Structure 1
Amino acid sequence: MGAAIKSEFRKFFTTRLWWGMAIGIFLAAALFSAFFAYFTTSATATEEGAPTGDPVQIVNSVYTAGLGVGYLLMLTVGILQIGSEYRHKTITSTLLSTPNRVRAMLAKIVALLGIGALYGLVSLLGSVTVGAITLMVRDVDPFPSIEVLRTLALSLLALGLWSLIGLGLGILIPNMVAAILVGVGVAWIVEPLLSFGLSNLDWGAKIVPYFPSNATNAMVNGVTAQGTDVTFLSWWAGALVLAAYAAALSAFGTWRTVRQDVS
């Protein structure tokens, strides 16, 4: 099992993809946190529709501002981890080197959680460094409560779970390019539009909190939609919902890989 996990890490870190993703996640986290830190502490923030709340909520929104871009990139990483195997016909050698297919898929899952944690650290490095400096310049305490540390830890978990969602999606849609387009399109465009439309319906408002992106926002105490009848989940419930998505899709991917013929 250890050799299979090392192999998965080696496949990822011997390409140029890993540092390109790292740069993208770092810059997104830094830029969004700087913008949110300035905007939420501006004298005209309330008038311009900035997120409001207690100091902890404001600081959390600053440090997780770039998480939306981060989890889309991790979704892509999860898809690529399996999709590239089918695209470049290396899945055969992978399964031959690890004949136990369940073990091979578990190795991918463990590796993706590690990769997600690593990118989570990169994201936090960008958001906390730049965000904290901006908050201090604006005379705001960058760490008003220990709850902020919990949010930062949950951000690491969220990115790892989104990579597992990508893994399941990459197996569900074997065409790597199509899987990326569908995954990013649903998470970035379709889901927000559905959330907006359903939030104005009595029955729809009960479904919206369980969408993956909304569960992620609730999990890390991020900014959620205002002015609707939607009651968003608590942080622990959001974590459980997102974990359920990741577990279901990764379990489905493992089941399908075990049963399908590979040539």
Structure 2
Amino acid sequence: MTRAISAELRKFLTTRMWWGMAIAIALASGGLALLFGLVLTSSSVQDQPGAATTDLQLARTVFTGGIGLVYLLTLAIGVLTIGAEYRHKTITSTFLATPHRVRVMLAKIVSLLVIGAGYGVLSILVSVGVGTAVLSAKGHDAFADPAIWRSLALALLVLGLWALIGLGAGILIPNQVAALLVAVGVAWIVEPILGAVLGLVSWGRDIVPYLPSQATSAMLGDTGNAFGGGPSDATTLSWWAGALVLMAYAAVMAGVGSALTTRRDIS
């Protein structure tokens, strides 16, 4: 099993994608931390009712503000991990080298969790560095409340779980380009629109918190009200409930995808 995991990590690290994604994640995390830090500490935002005013609220929003974009990149990594194998016909040699398909899929799952966590560390280091500088310059203590460490730790889990969701999407849609477009399109466009529509009706508000992006926000402690737009009518899950919901999505997508791969004819 260790060799299979090592092989999956080597496949990823021997391509140019890993450092390209690293640069994109670093720029997104740093840029959004800077933007959120400057905007949220401005007097025009701070004077609005419901704005993030405590040091914990500010630090949590600034440090994790880029996760909403970064998890789309780890989602894409999950899709490409299996999609590239189907596209370049290397899936056959992979299963020949390790004839136990279940072991191969477990190795892919573990490697994606490691890759997601690794990118999470990079994202947090950059966003915390930039965000702390901005908040300190504005007179705020970024680490005044120890609860911020829980949000940062959960950010690592978030990125790993979204990578597994991408893995499932890549298996369910064997065409790599189609899988990438569908997965990112649903997560970035379709789901937010669906959440907004469901939020307009009373019964829909009970469903909204269980959407993947809302579960992600709950894990990070983001109520979606950083700019003081007023309290949301939708119920917000606790951080542990959000974690369970997102893990359920990842387990279903990766589990169903892995089950199909172990039975699918790939010749």
Q: In structure 2, do the counterparts of structure 1 residues 12 and 177 end up closer, same or farther at CA, with 3 Å as the change threshold?
A: same
Backbone CA RMSD of aligned residues: 1.4
Structure 1: where are the runs of 5+ without partners?
A: none
The partner residue of 1:251 within 243, 248, 255 is 255
- Map 1:190-209 → 2, pairs under 5 A: 190-209=190-209
Match of 1:137 in 2: 137
Structure 2: where are the runs of 5+ without partners?
A: none
Could you tell me how far apart the structure 1 residues matched to 2:49 and 2:128 are? 23
Match of 2:240 in 1: 236
Match of 1:56 in 2: 56
Q: In structure 2, do the counterparts of structure 1 residues 50 and 88 end up closer, same or farther at CA, with 3 Å as the change threshold?
A: farther
AA of the residue aligned to 2:39? F
Q: Does 1:40 align with 2:40?
A: yes
Could you tell me how far apart the structure 2 residues matched to 1:49 and 1:58 are? 15
Could you tell me how far apart the structure 2 residues matched to 1:88 and 1:67 are? 30
Deviations 1:224-263, CA, capped at 9 Å, x for gaps: 1554420111111000100000011111011001111111
Q: In structure 2, do the counterparts of structure 1 residues 50 and 124 end up closer, same or farther at CA, with 3 Å as the change threshold?
A: farther
Could you tell me how far apart the structure 2 residues matched to 1:173 and 1:50 are? 42
Could you tell me how far apart the structure 2 residues matched to 1:46 and 1:184 are? 33
- Map 1:44-193 → 2, pairs under 5 A: 44-46=44-46, 51-193=51-193
Q: Report deviation, 1:40.
A: 0.9
> Contact 1:39 / 1:50 at 8 angstroms: preserved in 2?
no
Q: Report deviation, 1:43.
A: 0.8
Q: Report deviation, 1:200.
A: 1.6
Q: Report deviation, 1:55.
A: 2.4
Could you tell me how far apart the structure 2 residues matched to 1:50 and 1:7 are? 49
Q: Report deviation, 1:52.
A: 2.4
Match of 1:20 in 2: 20
Q: In structure 2, do the counterparts of structure 1 residues 53 and 136 end up closer, same or farther at CA, with 3 Å as the change threshold?
A: closer
Query: Aligned residue pairs: how many?
Result: 263
Could you tell me how far apart the structure 2 residues matched to 1:14 and 1:51 are? 45
Deviations 1:57-82, CA, capped at 9 Å, x for gaps: 22101101000111000000000000
> Contact 2:50 / 2:231 at 8 angstroms: preserved in 1?
no
> Contact 1:51 / 1:58 at 8 angstroms: preserved in 2?
no
Could you tell me how far apart the structure 1 residues matched to 2:261 and 2:99 are? 12
Q: Report deviation, 1:47.
A: 5.4
Q: Report deviation, 1:93.
A: 0.3
Percent sequence identity is 54
